[in-house]
Chain A
Amino acid sequence: MTISDLEQFSPDSVKPKINWARIEEADNFANTVKLFRQGKYDEDSFRRFRLQHGAYGTRMTGDYAMVRIKLPAGEIYPHQFEKISQLSEQYSIGSAHFSTRENIQLHWVILEDVSEIFRGLAEVGLTSREACGNSVRNVMCSPLSGVCSDEEFDATPYALATARFFLRNPMAQNLPRKFKFNFTCCEKHGMVRMVDVGLIPQIREIDGSSQRGFKIFLGGGLGNKSYVGYPLEEFTPEEDLLYTSIAVMRIFDRLGDRKNLARNRMRYLVNDMGWEKFQNLVFKERAIVRATQSIITQLDIDTTPDEIKRPIRITGESGSLTPDGYARWLKTNTVKQKQSEYRSVFITLEAGDITANQLSALGDLIRDFSSEGKARCGFVQNVALRYVLEDDLPRLYSKLLEVGLAKSGALTMTAPIGCSGTTSCNLALTNSHRLAKEIQRKFLELRLDEDDDLSDSSIKISGCPNSCGQHGIATIGFFGGGARVGKDMYPNYQMSLGGRSDGETMLGEICLRIPAKRVIPVILKIIEVFKDRKKSGDTLKSWIHRIVNGNEDSDIKSINDIKKILEPLVIPPTKEEDPDFYLDYGSDTSYHTKTGKGECAA
């Protein structure tokens, strides 16, 4: 008997249904890197190849990459968490990062080690293939799909099938630009109007029988210029889901702008052409697709229900005392499921960052507490454990406390999004990532997560105008830039107000530029101004919406009125008065903007 014979997987582990990996891609990547280093592969072709395999460039260096691991529909299993934990210690910085699109990213990976990560991922059935580049990016699904009380049916199998169909599919390897699908559960929890293709599951009664289908939105997206998507038609039956997807991609493939890199997302095509024309083209193209595709070209939709069974615990029972902070956490981090005895528990991270130890702890916590035996990534750099029995919540909370994952405020404004910013991104102008952490720490200290007036608002921060931090759909959004007083530069953010991504999706309105070191006082001031004028039933979000829509009747009637109140707070001090003002968060050297080549458009 050898050592390995003695080791066994925990019998409780649920295994994924789909293997996304191809082990040969690891060898191929390693060989291509060698050829590239030997000068046998030109820079542009190599970049295209690298991005196709999910390895993104890193700030100011060609030696490192970021590997973006796709989690289709946001699903992740315990052994996958454990593997990513190990990979983060071996090849990255001992931490990993949850993105806003249900990916987990490993940063500061040596280019020559990327293939080793691919190998590790293949052991657990994961891939980073087509996580970057001009392909179909990770197919998202609401973290509440299957448990949301407002959904008509669970879209997860459709999201997985769509991901499976397009991954490595020749038609999706060289699009004019990246292409994104978001499936959701309901209007409220999704982001269907802020993506190339957004889908809400719907059931329609036809001739006494009910039929599954989707409400599909096309041509939305966040970026340097953001657009809200348009509804294609009232109802798209499920048989037409694939035909519609193919039709839209074929139109984009043919007509998308392949020259002007700054305007090559589908949303520009839709808006240049005009929605009605685009919509008609989709209908015509879909008729052609329907008529010409092989009968075997179908989505492989596996609707076998997941087994839901109470976990058998290996770890011992702890004391019965409920730790401090439990009620606050319960209120701000958990959601009741439609399955009455269960809740979904959201785990807040700081700007999506998680340590190797926490990742592997999550593996154990899923086995011990989730009756579905897996977890789901959320849309806001977080992760959810679902199917947790109500009775188990205090114990889960204690366990989360032990590993530093019990931060409250997951579902409130105190959990801001911050893109990676100057911590790793070539395009970043400011350290948006650290700013998000600073805001979260301050706001939790002030216990703003417990304030019901603030819970439905959001704060989202990008380090440049390109919207990876999704600032455009935040109640209070920021994107980074530089400003100067004489010769001295300081980090600065453009603030927008009133963005949202629900059924009434709209982009935030530009308000004012806020120096980085004044962002926290400015948000607190906005809250104060709101509290003074709050009507019964008001939240910060509803108040700001009245203002941006011109329906507020207090002395603050417009964004401009808010701007006037805030202006005194943003006047730069001299460098002698306040040297810290001229430093970005996380830096002790004088601030200057510096960017490299972006790869979004490569």
Chain B
Amino acid sequence: MCCLTKPGKILIGVDSLRSEISDKSVRVIDVRRENDYKQDHIPTAVNLPLANLLSDDSPERVLKLVNSMGIDDETPVVVYDDTFGALASRVAWTLEYLGHSNVTLLETTYSHWKLLGLENDSKIPEIQSKEHSIHLRPEILATSDYLESAKTRDDVILIDNRERLNFLEQHIPGAISLPYRTLASNDHILRSKDDMKRLFDNRGITGNSEIITYCGSVGTLSGLAYYALKSVGLPNAKLYVRSFKEWKNLQKPTEKQEDASYWDLSAE
């Protein structure tokens, strides 16, 4: 189980978070919808619904949001959601991109937190605004132009985190399929380090390759994959944050699995 506040850590365990909260040393961000948050949430958490962030995720706007949540460069941040970590990952990545170095994901979902009988309340904390700096980290972002040129290099691995049927139907040429469901284990949003390492190792996702992840539209599922890669110490990961939706809108080339009616095997 991970503990908080050392740079490079990806996850925080429930017990560690509870002690961090009682130490008042941490800013907890709940990324669920506002109504859900108002009902109840982890004590001291502030609400930043993902949709709110996505309405304008320019660095200037993100900076304002971060300041208003009382986060400065030194504030440890923990993000959680109720969507197997995917939405929380997208928010955490955005903070990282802004230059915040101390952000971790709660190792489990809010539902599971509650299932464990852990404390929650509906109090909305009063926040003193703070001043965060901007040190953008373009090395963790992939744009469509970047992806298009990077793809031609041998040492770049492109990972599609959508479900298998979507991948079979259409994907960015050269991508490999790693559905987001493979990343979790039971109640943890990410597998244990050994399990994750073995999974990646089997798939040839190793070493110093540059790895770019993408998913359907806004970089949530692939955001989780970005943290999965980081969790096993793969250093060079990038998120194609505008993902397949933008790729298709730009009418860039796609590929499909030909000559098979795989959709008809689905029971959906």
**Taking beta carbons and an 8 Å cutoff, which residues of A are in contact with B?**
2-3, 6-7, 30, 33-34, 58-61, 89-95, 97, 107-108, 110, 112-113, 115-116, 349-350, 353-355, 358, 420-424, 431, 433-434, 437, 584-587, 594
Contacts and interface: CB of A to CB of B under 8 A. Distances in A.
Interface string B193-222: 000001100111000000000000000000
A60 B259 contact: yes
B77 to A, nearest CB: 22
A107 B168 CA distance: 12
Contacts of A112: 202-204
Contacts of B1: 2
16 contacts: A3-B116, A58-B260, A59-B260, A60-B258, A94-B163, A94-B268, A95-B265, A97-B265, A113-B202, A116-B198, A355-B266, A358-B267, A423-B265, A424-B265, A433-B265, A434-B261
Contacts of A115: 202
Given A116-B199, A355-B267, 11 more contacts: A2-B15, A30-B202, A107-B265, A115-B202, A353-B266, A355-B268, A433-B265, A434-B261, A584-B261, A586-B264, A594-B259
B179 A422 contact: no
A424 B181 contact: no
A375 B250 CA distance: 50
Interface in B152-198: 163-165, 168, 176-177, 179, 181-182, 187, 198
Contact of A90 (B182, B198, B260): B182
Contacts of B168: 93, 108
Contacts of A97: 265
B260 A422 contact: yes
B228 to A, nearest CB: 13
Nearest to B179: A90
Contacts of A586: 261, 263-264
Given A108-B168, A433-B264, A437-B264, A89 B181 contact: yes
Contact of A423 (B258, B261, B268): B261
A587 B261 contact: yes
B267 A350 contact: yes
A94 B164 contact: yes
Given A113-B202, A116-B202, A353-B267, A3 B187 contact: yes
B267 A59 contact: no
A349 B267 contact: yes
Contacts of A358: 267
Contact of B260 (A6, A89, A91, A424): A424
Contacts, number: 110
B187 A7 contact: yes
Contacts of B258: 60
Interface of B: 1, 13-15, 108, 116, 163-165, 168, 176-177, 179, 181-182, 187, 198-199, 202-204, 257-268
Contacts of B268: 94-95, 355
A92 B164 contact: yes
Nearest to A96: B267
Contacts of A422: 259-261
A350 B266 CA distance: 10
A297 B164 CA distance: 46
B202 A424 contact: no
Contacts of B14: 3
A354 B116 contact: no
A287 to B, nearest CB: 48
Contacts of B179: 89-91
Contacts of A354: 267
Nearest to A358: B267
A535 B202 CA distance: 64
B199 A431 contact: no
B190 to A, nearest CB: 13
B265 A93 contact: yes
Contacts of B267: 95, 349-350, 353-355, 358
Contacts of A424: 260, 262, 265
A587 B260 CA distance: 9
Nearest to A596: B259
A93 B204 CA distance: 21
Given A7-B187, A91-B182, A93-B164, A420 B265 contact: yes
Contacts of A355: 266-268
A352 B267 CA distance: 9
A431 B181 contact: no
Contacts of A421: 261, 264
B182 A353 contact: no
B266 A95 contact: yes
Contacts of B176: 110
Nearest to B14: A3
Contacts of A2: 1, 15
A92 B262 CA distance: 11
A90 B191 CA distance: 12
B260 A110 contact: no
B15 to A, nearest CB: 8
Contacts of A95: 265-268
Nearest to A585: B264
B262 A93 contact: yes
A355 B14 CA distance: 32
Nearest to A61: B257
A423 B261 CA distance: 4
Contacts of B163: 93-94
A94 B266 contact: yes
A251 to B, nearest CB: 38
A66 to B, nearest CB: 10
B61 to A, nearest CB: 35
B110 to A, nearest CB: 14
Given A107-B265, A353-B267, A423 B204 contact: no
Q: Which of A2, A108, A115, A587 has the most CB of B within 10 A?
A: A108
A421 to B, nearest CB: 8
A569 to B, nearest CB: 25
Nearest to B164: A93
Nearest to B183: A90
B264 A94 contact: no
A34 B203 CA distance: 9
A437 B265 CA distance: 10
B259 A110 contact: no
Contact of B182 (A58, A60, A113, A431): A113
Contacts of A6: 116
Nearest to B1: A2
Contacts of B108: 3
Nearest to A431: B261
Contacts of B259: 59-60, 422, 594
A465 to B, nearest CB: 19
Nearest to A423: B265
A300 B202 CA distance: 37
Contacts of A349: 267
A319 to B, nearest CB: 27
